[in-house]
Amino acid sequence: MNLLVYPLYLINNNKEHYDTHKEIVELNISYINKFQSVDDIMVIGKPVNNWAEMINDLMENINNLLKKKNNIILCEADNFIVEDFKEVFSLDKFTLFALCNNGSKIDKSLPGGEYLNAGFAYFPFKNFEKYFNFQTLHEDESSKTSLIYEKQINDIFYSQFNSHIEGLNYINENIGFSKYNWRGLLCIDTDSRFLYKNMPISFDIKSIHFLNLSQYIHKIEGFDPFWYRKFVDDLVSGKSKKIVVLKILYHYWKFVDLKKYRKKYRLIKYFYKILFSK
């Protein structure tokens, strides 16, 4: 079967965050049912004490589903799918879909332009025994734990190729960067480190990752927990994807302090690319 899986865990008894995530996941499920892209949608979760416990349980569940010959898209709760996504199931390798703004903070072998975001990931059951090599996480500091997890996911992806460039080429040639797991702020950092700098027009964007509670932006004004709810409501109410994408880019412009001229220029340039696209 082809499955879409959302993780939804009650972490450290934070009921407020759990309930809001649950509501948004349910909105996304209702929104994507019309696409008929998947055989089944699963929400996996339980009460846990910390982030590491959540990831360990989630990966155990993913492993068990792979053993039952399921192909799995793992979509984080703050990643809102906006288009038909059945094409993902044609991929024959474990795949990530978008780069992070910068490199790993804990592994210099994953620099900017090669370090991939794990907010949307595809696990095919074909040959999963060869690629799925998850190592149990141990909780110390939540931010460090998330970095270790994302490094592991990157290592799993690149283990399928002879080089990082070969892996990047696979994404670009088979699906295209940032169509899924789109994060508009990525455009400010697509410099010479990036082999693939092109960001998609709104027509090609299939899912939007809002990075809720991200260590990178959650302390910035305008990015409080669930800052993106108004954009989800716009999508659900029928507003055009292009208008919502432009509003998100403007939100970044308004609240992110872009001190470097080149970063401001890239954001403006991408805004107008979206504005004048079909």
Pairing of strands 10-11, 47-48: parallel
- Which domains are delineated in the chain? 2-275 (3.90.550)
3-state DSSP: the chain helix, strand, coil percent, rounded to 5? Answer: 45, 15, 45
> Could you list the pLDDT tens digit for every one of the 278 residues in the chain?
999 999 999 999 999 999 999 999 999 999 999 999 999 999 999 999 999 999 999 999 999 999 999 999 999 999 999 999 999 999 999 999 999 999 999 999 999 999 999 999 999 999 999 999 999 998 766 668 889 999 999 999 999 999 999 999 999 999 999 999 999 999 999 999 999 999 999 999 999 999 887 655 556 788 888 999 999 999 999 999 999 999 999 999 999 888 888 999 999 999 999 999 98
CA distance 101 to 187: 8
